[in-house]
Copies of this chain bind each other. A is one copy, B any other.
């Protein structure tokens, strides 16, 4: 029953309608300008609004609708609002002004130079997790904490607060090892090898990975062309129990609900905050139950970490904060100047991974070398090799086929090993002139791969045939575009032809 007059508490009953509008993770509520609730409560566009059913309540941003999109007594929900409120059929809601968010005074204090106590940080993180912060409020919090304005104590408190939101995994034995890469480098897909090598050595590595948000492939996207990755917690635990390792998508496990919200706004703002980064990575690793973590930190002029000084500062921060939350952390600074391997795109990267694991003669050496270096660090941290001997052990596990066997077993446990798809449409680009390959524009290469259809079209992407610094002959193949449709191929090819192929050849 709908009812346009207020009930005893002055609340207007609203029928709920799913609008089919995706605003990513920002809940939006749509109301008619001439609805009783807008008129009575004085709601205006972009106001914050609390919408409640008998079972649930959310805070959202209001968009005011003047046209025929809604009935006068309806509340429309964006996809995020729909997920959060999860109304049952025929359920009604009422709208109200939200109570003030108390922790925002702590954020205002921080903006004015005060330090945040652990209690205030806990409250902020709980409010962010509950969706009480609007995007601009979240941006203000992140900005107030950026630029080295977070103390060591604040970073530790933030890590602990993020850790206490969401699920925390525990495992029957220690050590639990893990690896993490800070800042994407196209093709830097070392995780499958590291997991296979260290699990083959008998260590436990319950690895969760993310999907691409702005890049042509995340580790989860690459692994998905090889095996199912959307496992729930119970299935993931069974795989780890059986094989000592897994390679699953982290989104299904629910260990870092706050992190997704903060990272999204940080991406929009495109700025680095060492404290935030440390808290984000370390809280996720601790929540996954890890005890020993190796961090791959690519350093280069277009990488996330750009200078040796920043690398040193961030490494120290991560090591120290890690220790405070019970994590043994080791940071490996790596070359961040050029892509790794040959493929950019889920299936093309999976082919590189398989070549390295199967020790094919043509396997990309840079990907192999990085994988061995990272696995070595994990093996030494986890006590499987004495200092300096990790590298030899990692190479031996790879060359003997033990890592490949372990990888196959993990994939079998996750639901079966698949053969990566091949793109139906390909186009080769040849060198217009000879010379030396003096620069690679990583961002442009990633853009071309995305225009080809990656990561949604898993076979799509860019295959690089030449390495930075190598001599190029006129007419030599430089790269191949892969696409799943003729249209996408033409589109990416046209973009590559018009603006250049992201490769600089010096005569």
Contact = CB atoms under 8 A, between A and B. Distances in A.
A66 to B, nearest CB: 5
Interface size class of A (residues with CB under 8 A): 35 or more
Interface stretch (A117-125, A151-159, A173-181, A262-270): A262-270
Interface stretch (A36-44, A333-341, A391-399, A405-413): A36-44
Contacts of A190: none
B137 A268 contact: yes
A140 interface: yes
A10 interface: yes
Contacts of A487: 5-6, 36, 40
A314 to B, nearest CB: 14
Given A111-B146, A143-B111, A494-B10, A488 B40 contact: yes
A18 B66 CA distance: 11
A135 B137 contact: no
Given A135-B136, A488-B40, A65 B147 contact: no
B40 A451 contact: yes
Contacts of A104: 270
A253 B494 CA distance: 47
A450 interface: yes
A215 to B, nearest CB: 10
Given A10-B494, A42-B450, A270-B104, A68 B136 contact: no
B269 A67 contact: no
Taken together, the copies of this chain in the complex come to 2
B147 A113 contact: yes
A334 to B, nearest CB: 24
A441 interface: no
Interface in A26-53: 26, 30, 33, 36, 39-42, 44-46
Interface string A90-117: 0000000000000010001001110000
Given A5-B487, A40-B451, A46 B268 contact: yes
Interface string A379-402: 000000000000000000000000
Interface in A452-507: 453, 456, 487-488, 490-491, 494-495, 498
Given A10-B491, A139-B143, A269-B137, A45 B19 contact: no
A453 B136 CA distance: 29
Given A10-B495, A137-B268, A46 B26 contact: yes
Interface in A267-299: 268-271
A24 B139 CA distance: 19
A134 interface: yes
A494 to B, nearest CB: 5
A89 to B, nearest CB: 18
A20 B269 contact: no
A483 B4 CA distance: 19
B67 A46 contact: no
A69 interface: yes
A45 B22 contact: yes
User: Most chain-B Cβ atoms within 10 A of its Cβ — which of A23, A78, A265, A495?
Assistant: A23
A136 B265 contact: yes
A360 interface: no
Contacts of A26: 46
A437 interface: no
Nearest to A450: B42
A189 to B, nearest CB: 20
Contacts of A135: 135-136, 139
User: Most chain-B Cβ atoms within 10 A of its Cβ — which of A20, A21, A23, A104?
Assistant: A21
B491 A6 contact: yes
Given A136-B135, A143-B139, A271 B111 contact: yes
6 contacts: A20-B66, A21-B30, A24-B45, A39-B488, A112-B148, A139-B143
A416 to B, nearest CB: 29
> Can you list the 3 inter-chain pairs with the closest CB atoms, starting with the nearest?
A20-B67, A143-B143, A136-B139
